[in-house]
Structure 1
Amino acid sequence: MLQKLAALQQRLGYEFRSTALLLEALTHPSYLQDHPAAGPHNQRLEFLGDSVLQFILTDALFREFTAEREGVLSRRRAVLSQGGFLTQMARDLGLDDALRLSKSEEDTGGRGRASILEDAFEALVGAMYLDSDLATTRARVLAWYGPLAARLAATEDAENPKGRLQELIQPVHGNTALRYEVTATTGPRHAREFAVAVFLNDRQLGTGTGPSKKVAEEIAARTALLTLRQENHGNTK
């Protein structure tokens, strides 16, 4: 276990002064069924870490996106702190390899279970906060996330392309500048295919086709986002 802890701390870019805190963060409640004297499990640290993480993300988003409204900032924080996102962060850091689980939990796939990994990530943040201070924890957490704008762009474009496109266009062009138009409908009634174009005022930004207008609009929005990203990249050269 000591070798695993050393490897984990190297990946974290942080060496714990209290190994006991790190072990607590990695200890699932089930572990105490087999090892009752092993010390506390990670649920209290998860409670603390959740609040610390929310503050770190709130502060970072507030400082980075100075023109965004409260609703947009709240949605972006939710994206960065949702269970699936934290589960992937835990895997990226290798927390799954270092978890302490009961044999039964291990045998039923607990090491890869999303809820266990999410709790462990938040518990790790809580443990680091107690082991150091807020400034150190903030620096390490944001280093794990990397550039927030890039993380958000990749996630939001994939999950909600229409919402992401609206967020980019609205501050500059207003609420009604975007519109989606069905340009063609083909195929028999039971297998229709819709073609949709998205316009910024009178300029066509993207097109998409799909088995429903909703799907076609989402594909058109993704195309428009790619167009805007390529234009912005060209302008920065």
Structure 2
Amino acid sequence: MARRSKPERAELEARLGHTFRDPALLDRALTHVSAAAGEHAQSNQRLEFLGDRVLGLSVAELLYAAFPIATEGELSRRLSVLVRRESCADMAEQWSLGGFLHLGSGEGKAGGRRNRATLADATEAVLGAVFLDAGYEAAKGVIERALGEQIRASVSPLRDPKTALQEWAQGEGKPTPTYTVVERTGPDHAPRFAVAARIKGVEEGVGAGSSKREAEQSAALVVLRREGVWTTDDAA
């Protein structure tokens, strides 16, 4: 595993606001599997797994403190926006993380330093490395410095169930919801539709309405409420 020079590490540590006691942890966090000679244990994948959990808990705690009267549903929706891969890639760009990554030659030539999925994974790995190096509070501090402005932003709660369900699914790493008409009843001038909202790995929700759109919104709301993402108080 390639080691970063001291000036390189110092530059990244300054951007993170954390100086590593064990520089090997940062080196590993920056090592893509393509540069680890097939040794997954020497790449950043295990740290990525850990950092994902550290990120979720830290953002949840920061949201809980920042919005003392927010409902569980609103907090869940804010969380799903902040911990998704897009946000992790944005953090990487804040830190110019791509320039510090250790990539295999093929991955480097393929634009890996600008690949947002690679950057998101590396961000989580860095957070996992900070956690192992100095503990939860240190990792939370790195996250708060990177996301604090977004965490405290006064964003109106989402009121559209279909949008909320899609963002929740993305935040959970699940595929985009699909909607299927399962029944159509009533005369042509006054039809009633039953629609199923489906996400792989999640129990489907069925909603009804006088239009397909209304039925889709209703179905999405069924899933959101069952998953504890949307409560009665969240309704417009």
| 1:20 and 2:24 matched | yes
Q: How does 1:118-137 map to 2 (within 5 A)?
A: 118-137=120-139
User: What percentage of residue pairs aligned between the two structures are identical?
Assistant: 36
- 1:51 maps to what in 2? 53
CA distance in 2, matches of 1:137, 1:38: 23
Q: How does 1:136-175 map to 2 (within 5 A)?
A: 136-147=138-149, 148-150=151-153, 153=155
| 1:78 and 2:80 matched | yes
CA shift in 2, pair 1:13/1:104, >3 Å: same
CA shift in 2, pair 1:64/1:17, >3 Å: same
CA shift in 2, pair 1:28/1:72, >3 Å: same
- Check conservation: 2:92, 2:98, Cα contact below 8 A: yes
Q: How far off its partner does 1:39 sit?
A: 7.2
CA deviation map 1:147-173 (0-9, x unaligned): 3222x63xx79xx7x65xxxxxxxxxx
- 2:183 maps to what in 1? none
CA shift in 2, pair 1:71/1:6, >3 Å: same
3-state secondary structure, aligned to 1:101: coil
3-state secondary structure, aligned to 2:33: coil
CA deviation map 1:176-227 (0-9, x unaligned): xxxxxxxxxxxxxxxxxxxxxxxxxxxxxxxxxxxxxxxxxxxxxxxxxxxx
Letter in 2 for 1:118: A
| 1:32 and 2:50 matched | no
More helix by percentage: 1
CA distance in 1, matches of 2:40, 2:23: 13
CA shift in 2, pair 1:83/1:39, >3 Å: closer
Letter in 1 for 2:85: G
- Check conservation: 1:27, 1:100, Cα contact below 8 A: yes
CA distance in 1, matches of 2:32, 2:62: 30
Letter in 2 for 1:77: L
Q: Select the structure with the greater relative contact order (CA < 8 A; seq sep ≥ 6).
A: 2
CA distance in 1, matches of 2:34, 2:12: 21
Letter in 1 for 2:88: L
Q: How far off its partner does 1:70 sit?
A: 1.2
Q: How far off its partner does 1:37 sit?
A: 8.2
CA distance in 2, matches of 1:146, 1:57: 9
Letter in 2 for 1:131: D
CA deviation map 1:110-150 (0-9, x unaligned): 11111110110001110000000111221221012123222
Structure with greater Cα Rg: 1
CA deviation map 1:40-87 (0-9, x unaligned): 100000000000110001111111111111111111011111111110
Q: How does 1:64-213 map to 2 (within 5 A)?
A: 64-147=66-149, 148-150=151-153, 153=155
Unaligned runs of 5+ in 1: 164-237
- 1:6 maps to what in 2? 10
Give 4+ residue runs of structure 1 displaced > 3 Å after superposition. Answer: 36-39
Q: How many residues align?
A: 157
Unaligned runs of 5+ in 2: 161-236
Q: CA RMSD in A?
A: 2.5
Letter in 2 for 1:58: A
CA distance in 2, matches of 1:67, 1:56: 19
Letter in 1 for 2:99: D
